[in-house]
Structure 1
């Protein structure tokens, strides 16, 4: 059903919330067909965000991943490929960023790679 919604938008989808389902294939599908996507909230999509997918989200202004693995490399990719990103929420229960060392790496990567953020939740 989600793929059908993406297809019906004919590339004009700007806001998408996915709760309780999805995987890497769905993320790639959305990124491939939604070049205008400005806001993405995905909850319940276990796994990591692939940098190849991030490259296709250049119009993204707001990101809220939950129950998703977020890495330092992902944050660096967001900085490189999503220059419009203003809002990042990484404070949800179930966000998987690992040990305190990895959490510190992510915080440093945010500071170094996302200078345009106006709203950050950790």
Structure 2
């Protein structure tokens, strides 16, 4: 399996670059190579206040522009090589609200 380098919370109050295994692409997933990231206030709270607990080597940044490197077999709207944005929160498209056309109302948002 290949690796990537990412900027991470190494532990509470400590950030730095880490090398991790590249995630596997599931059938409804896409692997995006970031071109530019924006720090989010949730990243700041997480690092300095432990907003989601002490997690070792947690990759930061979830608002980005990138290039699609790989797509799962069920992905139809994105193609390898396309430039995309990655919003702060992505609806859980399996959730009932999203299925009814109200993705902002999903209870299982992925962020």
Q: TM-score, normalization: structure 2?
A: 0.22
When you count strand as a share of all residues, which structure comes out higher? 2
When you count helix as a share of all residues, which structure comes out higher? 1
Q: TM-score, normalization: structure 1?
A: 0.21
- Higher relative contact order at CA 8 Å, sep ≥6: structure 1 or structure 2? 2
